[in-house]
Structure 1
């Protein structure tokens, strides 16, 4: 009996280790948050990028802005040791901002570390800021993002979240809040750019994914314990029957 219980304990420990590892991976995806983004307004976007690799550093972050999330004005916050490249794309449906027709918008923003030493190392995370507007009239906006590592591998966070079910590699999703304020960011861009806001806290989407992973882990553990308990009782009953 003691030998069997010992084997069950070993199996339980191995399964728990695997579940915890899987929960950590599920929660460690790229997220986006904003303290002030709202439909029709201007605000700052903060992309939080954890480095999942145990051996390589994150040296590139490529953020795509789909046309449905297009903004007339978009700027990147400087990052020491990183370069920023912006790609513009012609709009099928031009935007109007400040009485002008906007026919092109920034569709891709790519941050690249100048060398591996300034990359995001294993066990670390980095934050990358964008500022712009006006945001479109929508409840949520998705920003597919590709993360590049120093060993040449990539993590593509590009899958859409459908009906609240988070995919394996979800694209960062921003929830827009409040009503349109009509705030004219171009009127005070100089002041806004000089006083860079503090990095935003973890995105609600990331927090929600972490909570979901934790709940799933607890349920799995409880189910496993119940199953092992039943197995032990069944084994004991069988021993008693044989002994009789």
Structure 2
């Protein structure tokens, strides 16, 4: 075999392996997913259902997302998306569910976006705000159905196997983690609390008025002592004058 033939064969094998690898990877990249994929139990969150177009000869024209009824969400709102119509469907639950907001008998069961197009090689995100998320489960499943302009419908509704293996058409899953205590409704930490009054008073500047009053008191006390001393001297002088007068009177007589 010539060197050029060997090179061509090596290139062909490499190309074949690359194509096979990409062929196996593409289906995994085409899943309908929910982003971010995690949220805290008991919180309110905003998520985006990310829908890639996995066909080369058709566009995605509709996406339907089914909401859980065993763990219904009391509050659901949708962000408008230019070029797409949105329909929020509410329905009666199989059985009432008790939450911190009371007993729920009806809830959002499905959201449908239609009228727009996701062209080949593109993706779109459909945003939803929802809560409060349940506290008694570690995940929520949102089965989705993707409709193409060719009439094909792909259902992303399978859950992972018992061994954790990924199914062919996995449903979007939102994993729920225990609340950290820093989210909605959490008590403030000691570092965030307002300082108590004694602390504020301790750093306040001392008032000036008492110092002035003390100075005035010292001044008045000194004045009083001075006047008292002067009076005492005057009294002694009077006594001396009186004694001298008596002596002079005795000599004259």
Q: TM-score range by the shorter chain?
A: 0.5 to 0.7
Other-structure match for 2:239: none
* Other-structure match for 2:146: 147
Specify the SS of the correspondent of 1:135. Answer: coil
CA distance in 2, matches of 1:158, 1:92: 20
Which residue does the alignment assign to 2:208? Answer: none
Map of 1:132 onto structure 2: 130
Distance 2:55 2:37 in 1: 29
Aligned to 2:111: 109
Q: How many residues align?
A: 180
Contact 1:37 1:44 in 2 (8 A): no
Is this contact kept in 2: 1:32–1:172, CA < 8 A?
Answer: yes
Q: Which position in structure 2 is the counterpart of 1:168?
A: 168
The one of the two structures with greater contact order (alpha-carbon pairs below 8 A, sep at least 6) is 1
Shift in Å, 1:31: 0.7
* CA shift in 2, pair 1:35/1:27, >3 Å: closer
Counterparts of 1:152 and 1:69, CA distance in 2: 32
Cα distance, 1:6 vs structure 2: 4.2
The 1:174/1:99 distance shift into structure 2, 3 A limit, reads: closer
Equivalent residue of 1:122, what SS?
A: coil
RMSD: 2.4
Contact 1:50 1:124 in 2 (8 A): yes
Identify unmatched segments of 5+ residues in structure 1. Answer: 185-244
1:177 deviates by 2.7
- Bigger radius of gyration: 2
> Matched residues in 1 for 2:56 and 2:170: separation?
21
Helix, strand or coil for the counterpart of 2:82?
coil
> Alpha-carbon deviations, 1:200-244, whole Å to 9, x = none?
xxxxxxxxxxxxxxxxxxxxxxxxxxxxxxxxxxxxxxxxxxxxx
Q: Distance in 2 between matches of 1:96 and 1:71?
A: 11
The corresponding residue for 2:195 is: none
1:101 to partner: Cα distance: 2.2
Equivalence for 1:30? 32
Measure how far apart 1:176 and its partner are. 1.7
Aligned to 1:85: 87
2:60–2:117 Cα contact (<8 Å) kept: yes
TM-score (structure 1 length as normaliser): 0.66
Name the residue aligned to 1:159: 158
Q: CA deviation at 1:33?
A: 2.0
Q: Displacement, 1:51?
A: 0.8
